[in-house]
Amino acid sequence: MSGRQADWIRQAERDIEHARRSIEAKDYEWACFAAHQAAEKAVKAVYQKIGAEAWGHSITVLLTELPGKRKSTTLLDASKELDRHYIGTRYPDFHSTGAPGDYYTRKDAERAVGNAQRVIDYCKDILLS
């Protein structure tokens, strides 16, 4: 890999490991957010490889706007689920009452990490091709 895509995918891998550690620490909302960040950075690594600009934080939009054969429709459910963790995991006013930590479970975090890992694996395949 040449260019900055190696930096983006390396950070994505660090973020997914952070998400896994957050699960063990029972910081489930942070695990979900870190999983989102990992997937977002992995997709942005692909944009770096193809020399395109990636705007925004929606993994769904980023995946659907990839040109040609790089576009993935099999990851759309996973990406939509990850996108829901971008704001609600961090801001208390997202919910009518309570803090974000009150709304996330281990199951949510494990699912988010699994979804993010699928996105990362998909992106790594593109980066290695």
Q: Is the pLDDT of residue 115 over 80?
A: yes
Question: How many domains, the chain?
Answer: 1
The answer to whether residues 32 and 89 touch, using CB atoms and an 8 Å cutoff, is yes
- Residue 73 maps to which CATH number? 1.20.120.330
| pTM for this entry | 0.94
**CA-angle at 79, arms to 100 and 45, nearest 5°:** 105
Which range of residues forms the domain containing residue 72?
5-128
Q: 95: phi > 0 → left, psi -120 to 50 → alpha, else beta; which?
A: beta
Per-residue pLDDT tens over the stretch 37-96: 999 999 999 999 999 989 999 999 999 999 877 767 789 999 999 999 999 999 999 999
